[in-house]
C-alpha cells in the first residue's frame, strides 16, 4: 500500500475520457456529480458552456474546491455537502438531467489526509469517516462484539482470517485502546505475507471503512434514487473500485436491462419491467497508459446504462443485497 500512497499523491480523475464519451456533455444539460471529490469530473463537464453541474459530496473538506468552482462558473455550478443516498430529497437546479455520475470510494485527498485514517500508513486513533457518519472506526473496533466484527471482515472484506482477527482484537482491546498502527500489527501477526500483492491489512481496512460509512446502503439507495430522479433517456454512470461494489452495480443494471438473462432457465423480463438499456454490456476498464500514469486506477470499472422507463419496483434488488445492508444494523450495538 505504501507504494500506492506515494503514487496517489497527485489526483487523476479515473476513466475521465471514457466517461465523457458516454455522457456526451457537448450537447448541454444538467449533470449530477454524486461524488465531487476534487472536482475532476465536474471541471471537465463544465468546460462545455451549455452545462450545469449539481455536485454532491459527504466530505465537507471538498467545500474549498467547490467554492473555487462556484466563483468561476457561478450559476452553472452548485455544491451540496450531503450523502448521495439522499438524492431524492435534494433540490434539483433543473429537470433536464442528462446524467448522474458516481465515482465510488475515497479520493486521493482523503487517503493523503492521515487524520482520516483511511490508509494503513496513518497512525493514532482509528477514524475512517468520510463525512456525515454515525460512528467511527474506533467505535466499531472497540464496541462491537466478536460475532459482529468477524461478520464485517468476512462479508465486507472477504477476509479469510476474519474470526482469528476478530478474536485478537477482543483480546487486545481489554488491555489498551487499539490505534491504527495496532490494527495493522494485528493483521500482520495473523496473515503471513505470501505471494499476494495486496497488503495484509487491505481487506480488514476496507471492511471497516465500508461499515463505518454505511457504503452498501449508500450505494443501493443512491442507485435507486438516481433512477427515480432521472428523466427517461438520462444516463447513470458508475465507477467502482472493488468487487463488492461492482457486484451491486452490475446486478442493478443487468437485472433491470433489456438484454436477455444469462441463464436460459430463467424467464426474461417482461417489457414493462425493464428499466435500462445497457450502454456497455461489459465494464469499461482503464487503458494501459492510464494504469501506468495512475496505478490505483487498475481496479476501476465503469458501468453505464440509459433509463428507458419509469418502473419503480426495486424489491428484487433490495432483497438480493439485504444480507449486506442488514450488517449495517450492527451499528445499533454501539
Ligand X SMILES: C[S@@+](CC[C@H](N)C(=O)[O-])C[C@H]1O[C@@H](n2cnc3c(N)ncnc32)[C@H](O)[C@@H]1O
The residues binding ligand X (CB under 6 A) are: 13, 35, 37-41, 56-59, 62, 83-85, 103, 105-107, 110, 130-131, 218
Q: How far is the CB of 221 from ligand X (least distance, A)?
A: 9
Cα 116 to Cα 24, 81, 110, 199, 248: the distances in Å are 35, 17, 7, 19, 26
Residue closer to ligand X, measured from CB, 131 or 295: 131
Residue closer to ligand X, measured from CB, 186 or 220: 220
Q: How far is the CB of 329 from ligand X (least distance, A)?
A: 18
CA distance 334 to 320: 26
Residue closer to ligand X, measured from CB, 299 or 309: 299
Residue closer to ligand X, measured from CB, 59 or 246: 59
Q: How far is the CB of 234 from ligand X (least distance, A)?
A: 19
First to last CA, the chain: 30
Residue closer to ligand X, measured from CB, 241 or 256: 241
Q: Are 10 and 16 in contact (CB under 8 A)?
A: no
Helix (H) or strand (E) holding 319: helix 315-320
Residue closer to ligand X, measured from CB, 159 or 218: 218
Q: How far is the CB of 135 from ligand X (least distance, A)?
A: 15
What is the number of the residue whose Cβ is closest to ligand X? Answer: 40
Q: Which residue, chain included where needed, has cell 492521515? A: 114
CA distance 178 to 143: 11
Residue closer to ligand X, measured from CB, 111 or 165: 111
Sign of CA dihedral 100, 101, 104, 107: negative
Q: How far is the CB of 14 from ligand X (least distance, A)?
A: 7
Q: Are 123 and 180 in contact (CB under 8 A)?
A: yes
Q: Are 144 and 330 in contact (CB under 8 A)?
A: yes
Q: How far is the CB of 219 from ligand X (least distance, A)?
A: 7
CA distance 306 to 113: 36
Q: 267: exposed, middle or buried (C-beta count within 10 Å: 0-12, 13-18, 19+)?
A: exposed
Q: How far is the CB of 254 from ligand X (least distance, A)?
A: 22
CA distance 132 to 288: 36
Which has the closest alpha carbon to 235: 112, 105, 98, 332? 98
Which residues, 6+ apart, have CB-to-CB distance to 150 below 8 Å? 162, 163, 165, 166
Residue closer to ligand X, measured from CB, 25 or 105: 105
Q: How far is the CB of 39 from ligand X (least distance, A)?
A: 5
Amino acid at each position: 500500500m505504501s507504494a500506492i500512497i506515494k503514487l496517489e499523491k497527485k489526483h487523476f480523475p479515473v476513466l475521465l475520457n471514457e466517461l465523457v464519451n458516454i455522457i456526451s456533455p457537448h450537447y448541454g444539460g444538467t449533470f449530477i456529480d454524486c461524488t465531487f471529490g476534487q472536482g475532476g469530473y465536474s471541471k471537465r463537464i463544465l468546460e462545455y458552456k451549455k452545462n450545469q453541474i449539481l455536485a454532491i459530496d459527504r466530505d465537507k473538506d471538498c467545500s474549498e474546491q467547490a467554492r473555487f468552482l462556484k466563483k468561476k462558473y457561478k450559476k452553472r455550478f452548485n455544491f451540496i455537502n450531503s450523502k448521495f443516498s439522499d438524492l431524492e430529497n435534494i433540490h434539483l437546479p433543473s429537470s433536464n438531467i442528462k446524467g448522474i455520475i458516481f465515482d465510488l470510494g475515497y479520493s486521493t485527498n482523503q487517503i493523503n489526509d492521515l487524520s482520516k485514517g483511511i490508509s494503513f500508513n496513518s497512525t493514532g486513533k482509528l477514524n475512517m469517516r468520510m463525512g456525515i457518519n454515525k460512528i467511527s472506526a474506533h467505535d466499531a473496533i472497540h464496541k462491537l462484539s466478536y460475532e459482529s466484527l468477524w461478520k464485517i471482515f468476512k462479508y465486507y472484506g472477504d477476509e479469510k482470517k476474519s474470526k482469528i482477527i476478530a478474536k485478537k482484537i477482543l483480546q487486545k482491546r481489554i488491555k489498551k485502546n487499539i490505534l491504527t498502527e495496532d490494527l495493522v500489527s494485528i493483521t500482520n501477526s495473523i496473515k503471513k505475507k505470501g505471494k499476494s500483492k495486496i497488503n495484509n491489512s487491505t481487506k480488514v481496512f476496507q471492511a471497516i471503512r465500508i461499515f463505518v460509512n454505511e457504503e452498501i446502503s449508500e450505494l443501493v439507495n443512491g442507485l435507486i434514487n438516481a433512477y427515480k430522479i432521472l428523466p427517461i433517456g438520462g444516463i447513470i454512470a458508475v465507477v467502482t473500485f472493488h468487487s463488492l461494489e461492482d457486484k451491486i452495480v452490475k446486478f442493478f443494471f443487468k437485472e433491470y436491462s433489456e438484454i436477455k438473462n444469462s441463464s436460459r432457465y430463467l424467464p426474461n423480463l417482461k417489457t414493462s419491467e425493464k428499466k435500462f438499456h445497457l450502454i456497455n454490456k461489459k465494464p469499461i476498464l482503464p487503458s494501459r497508459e492510464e494504469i501506468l500514469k495512475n496505478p490505483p486506477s487498475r481496479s476501476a470499472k465503469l458501468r453505464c446504462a440509459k433509463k428507458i422507463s419509469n418502473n419503480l419496483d426495486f424489491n428484487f434488488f433490495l432483497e438480493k443485497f439485504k444480507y449486506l445492508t442488514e450488517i449495517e444494523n450492527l451499528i445499533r450495538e454501539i
